[in-house]
Structure 1
Amino acid sequence: MSSTPTRAYAPYSQPLWKRVLLTRESAIIALTVVVICWALAAVPNFDGPLTLKYLLQDTAPILLIALPMTLVIITGEIDLSVASIVGLSSVLLGVLHQGGMSVPAAGAVALLVGAACGTLNGVLVAYVGLPSLAVTIGTLALFRGVAVGLLGTTAVTDFPEAWTDLATGTVGESSVPLVMVPFAALVVVFTLLLHFSPFGRGVYDIGLNGEAARFSGVHVARTKLVLFVLSGVVSAFAGLYFTLRFGSARGDNATGLELQVIAAVLLGGVSIFGGRGRLHGVLAGVVLIGVIASALRLEGVTVNVTNIVIGVLLIVSVVSGALVAYVSGRLRRPRPGSSAEAPETSSRRAASAGA
């Protein structure tokens, strides 16, 4: 007597098109498309030739830092020190260049310092066992204090014109900034790392259950350390771009940027509790926030109102995600006496009879 095999995991009990389209990431992408269409139709000058350039330039630091931040949050941790690393790398670039060092050499030193900052966070979280929220709040103040202490209230602005033009330039005659080229390369690297490698599967396992991941052979501490180092290096690179784009190295550069990054990552479907999230949803979340901010700015809306709109959108996305998970869990739960319980009940009776 043949029986039809059933799927062992609930997510794979649905057809492929449902698993692809009926997801939070797809909803964010659809919402982003709707908002872009609204902005093109209703916001004056949003369809201008420079809108895409400035939109991508404004969101480039967030796009860059959101890549490693996604992996960090999937493991159930968080890194609030990223904006301070941006400011510290900016100051190092300015101070070292002012002291006679070339821009590439100063940038290399800033990247190494960013890696050292990430290593400090990773060691304290992964090996000492301290909570990442407390650690990165402390290092946020530490790195920002070092940056302000090195440069004070002054700014370094005498960067070579060739490098500032490179940071503000575009690809050929298009409106796509040159910074999108290294960003695209990083997207490929982080996509392969998270979604197509054993390392990425370990990242999800840690977020779902750290103890189970450890017993399954995942190097939990080493994985977290690597992610925090990547976060520090990418944040330092974003600081170099931030400095050269505006032509100014200051200790308070990128203040508050970490909140925008975390908001974009959570809006893109990554669970703050860890264990779920995909990069394409995060990228859509960053673009959505950038489009809203750009459209409201063209409409003459103040930054405070823009922050309120983005905050409300983030709260709605988090609450709706929790609500959908609760409702879907209730719907999947079999009713007492239903056919869904029959195989389990039969197996229990067979086991009892065998005993």
Structure 2
Amino acid sequence: MSNISPEAPRGAASTGGQITGRQIPDRLRSRTSRALKSWESLLIVVALAIFIANSMLSPYFLDPWNLSDASFNFTEKVLIAFAMALLIIAGEIDLSVASIIALSSTAMGVAMSMGAGTPTLVAVGLLVGLGCGVVNGLLVTRLGLPSIVVTIGTMSLYRGLSYIVLGDQAFTGYPASFAWFGQGYVWWVFSFEFVLFIGCAVLYAVLLHGTNFGRLVYAIGNNATAAAFSGIRVDRVKFRLFLLTGLMSGIAAICLTARLGSTRPSIAMGYELEVVTMVVLGGVNILGGAGSIPGVVLAAFIMGLVTFGFGLLNVPGILMSIFIGLLLIGVIALPKLWARFRSARA
């Protein structure tokens, strides 16, 4: 029998801990309040503000083809940022991603000079990126070395190998079919890179927020020791994340090499800083355990809009580097400063 008497009107207070009609709007208001206070909501406001400012400062900004060109400022970096976000949430980091791009691009250049076609070039780029991820993953998970130390070392190693092969030279003359990966358009102003970015955003959002693997990543990032005692194979999960980061770096190398039409040992120099900034700006805790893919997507749009806006205003590139450095420091420091401010007020 029901605990509610026949005379009790629907929505009235009841026993047994049941939710009343008055409590439902309260919960909705609470959820709405949390959503409005979320980091992603703040990023949306910032992105809209930058978009409006750029449209007011430059008459060329709102041109559809110019906006399409703006996407090239972040698509290759955000492809790596998706995998990097999972890696940082799990408590690790990979600073060798830009050097993996250089080595993958160099390997594709060597294959091209030997007469390889587009399918072979794509396979070489993916395999080299995956191989670099294997090396990083084994050094961290099997030898127990700190990921930041390992990837600083492999960052120099992979870039150094590119310089040994190329020196001051460059590989050019890639096939026209290969150039489509970096210069082609799927429909109207939507480039292949932008469509790939959207597809990867959906894929990684499902992987992190809708699968058991994503829950394992969060659990490891919050407490790796407790996760191991609960039966999670921590090293196996981390190894797969390094593989994923290497693979995404290989994909980025394919897109970047195809867009530039050439390979130089200095290709993608400084990308690791921008990728990490993109991830942290997206709300991923640099210490692990928290973060979201939608936040990374919004951060990518913000950095792309800022970079493109600076370009339209003829702002020197060195100022953009200074801005990215300050942004990274500010995003890391802001939560700590805010926590101290709140504790001081309390």
TM-score (norm 1): 0.86
Matched with 1:342 is none
Matched with 1:288 is 302
SS at match of 1:179: helix
Contact kept? 1:56, 1:176, Cα under 8 Å: no
The reply to whether residue 320 of structure 1 matches residue 302 of structure 2 is: no
| Residue from 229, 233, 254 that aligns with 2:247 | 233
One-letter amino acid matched to 1:262: V
Contact kept? 1:95, 1:151, Cα under 8 Å: no
- Deviation (angstroms), 1:101: 1.4
Q: Partners of 2:318 and 2:143 in 1: how far apart?
A: 39
SS at match of 1:15: helix
Q: Partners of 1:21 and 1:314 in 2: how far apart?
A: 23
One-letter amino acid matched to 1:136: T
Superposition pairs of residues 297-308 of structure 1, within 5 angstroms: 297-308=311-322
SS at match of 1:171: strand
Matched with 2:4 is none
The reply to whether residue 114 of structure 1 matches residue 129 of structure 2 is: yes
Gaps of 5+ in 2: 1-13, 20-26
Superposition pairs of residues 1-355 of structure 1, within 5 angstroms: 15-173=30-188, 175-326=189-340
One-letter amino acid matched to 2:67: L
SS at match of 1:130: coil
Residues 275, 13 of structure 1: alpha-carbon distance in 2 compared, 3 angstrom cutoff = farther
> Percent of counterpart pairs with the same letter?
38
Q: Partners of 2:81 and 2:314 in 1: how far apart?
A: 28
Residues 216, 21 of structure 1: alpha-carbon distance in 2 compared, 3 angstrom cutoff = farther
Q: Partners of 1:163 and 1:100 in 2: how far apart?
A: 13
- Deviation (angstroms), 1:319: 2.1
- Superposed CA deviations along residues 142-197 of structure 1, whole A, max 9, x for unmatched, are 11111121222211111112322452122322x22111222222222211111011
Q: Partners of 1:107 and 1:320 in 2: how far apart?
A: 41
Q: Partners of 2:281 and 2:250 in 1: how far apart?
A: 24
Please provide the CA RMSD for this pair: 2.3
Q: Partners of 1:202 and 1:252 in 2: how far apart?
A: 37
- Deviation (angstroms), 1:313: 2.9
Q: Partners of 1:323 and 1:125 in 2: how far apart?
A: 32
Q: Partners of 2:337 and 2:18 in 1: how far apart?
A: 31
TM-score (norm 2): 0.88
Q: Partners of 2:181 and 2:290 in 1: how far apart?
A: 37
- Deviation (angstroms), 1:97: 1.0
The count of aligned residue pairs is 326
Contact kept? 1:91, 1:147, Cα under 8 Å: yes
Residues 231, 301 of structure 1: alpha-carbon distance in 2 compared, 3 angstrom cutoff = same
Gaps of 5+ in 1: 7-11, 334-355
